């Protein structure tokens, strides 16, 4: 039995997916309570992908929604920094953003950037460099900041 080989999409193919699903991104500080106060301990980068079949709200079992989830996962993976880094990052999602009154249903994937030891301390230059690389990678693919 031959296993299917999943090809890594080219930058052009990823850019086409970004346009098709009208992907956007934004960055926020990751906050935690420390010594009785709320302080930043890292960053989150949220990427949104919009559905291209507005006939019904998104559902987890919808076969038409699977390509959107796949595209968002591919773009999130492509945005991650390359090589060894002193910080920790992870991708959560894709997850449906369920707003039944929304005329713009979307999926969300969140990239979290923190210290490798996941300590509760303010971001340093390493985390800033990592989140900057993620932002630049998204912009190169044509993902628009919102």
pLDDT of the chain, 146 residues: tens digit per residue: 445 555 678 999 999 999 999 999 999 999 988 788 898 988 999 999 988 766 666 666 777 778 888 899 999 999 998 877 666 677 776 665 544 445 667 888 899 888 776 667 788 888 898 899 999 999 999 999 98
Global pTM? 0.83
> Three-state DSSP class for 71?
helix
Distance in angstroms (rounded) separating the CA atoms of residues 135 and 129: 10
Q: Strands of 2-36 (E only): list them.
A: 24-34
**DSSP output for 95-116:** EEE--TT-SS-EEEEEEEEEET
């Amino acid at each position: 039995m031959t296993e299917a080989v999943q090809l890594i999409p080219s930058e052009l193919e990823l850019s086409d997916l970004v346009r098709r699903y009208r992907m956007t991104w934004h960055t926020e500080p990751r906050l935690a309570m420390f010594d009785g106060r709320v302080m930043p301990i890292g960053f989150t980068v949220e990427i949104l992908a919009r559905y291209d079949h507005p006939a019904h709200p998104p559902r987890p079992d919808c076969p038409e929604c699977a390509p959107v989830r796949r595209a968002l996962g591919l773009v999130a993976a492509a945005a991650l920094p390359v090589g060894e880094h002193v910080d920790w990052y992870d991708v959560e999602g894709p997850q449906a953003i369920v707003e039944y009154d929304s005329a713009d249903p979307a999926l969300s994937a969140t990239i979290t950037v923190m210290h490798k030891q996941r300590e509760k301390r303010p971001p340093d230059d390493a985390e800033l460099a990592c989140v900057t690389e993620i932002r630049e990678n998204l912009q190169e693919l044509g993902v628009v900041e919102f």
